Amino acid sequence: MMKRALAVVLLGFGLATSAVMASVEDEIRARIAPVGTVCVQGEEACGASSAPVQAASSGPRPAAEVYSSACAACHDTGAAGAPKKGDTGAWSARIDKGMETLVTHAINGYNAMPAKGGCSSCSDEEIQVAVELMVEDSQ
């Protein structure tokens, strides 16, 4: 009789232990589960949500906004040899090369200035109006 009682007690502990272990394993699986999936555009499994979302463009930003967000850091201080906005002497030789050259240099980069002044979100048109603003203020 004692052996049966001991067997029943051990069986009970065994079942309880396996239930606890299963719970721990479920918790571990939940903690290491992926937080998302990669969906490649055009794959059927992705559904309609894989289509790229494009924000509606309201057109190019005003020159002053582009200047203050992308150009002012260098052209207000003269950093890395940038001509300061409003400095007629520093701009005159550059202006003599023509607006097309100035815009090309601003878009593609020139000397220490990176392409588009480092503003990768700026369109060519936005860079052009910012250059026009600097030239206008420096004549």
Torsion of CA 64, 67, 72, 73, to 10 degrees: 140
User: What is the domain partition of the chain in residue ranges?
Assistant: 63-137
Return the CATH architecture of domain 63-137. Orthogonal Bundle (1.10)
DSSP 44: G
Average pLDDT over residues 2-29: 69
| Residue 105 near residue 75, CB atoms below 8 Å | no
pTM exceeding the 0.85 threshold for the entire prediction: no
* pLDDT tens-digit series, residues 66-88: 999 999 999 999 999 999 999 99
Residue 121 sits at the vertex; the CA angle it makes with 115 and 126, to the nearest 5 degrees, is: 75
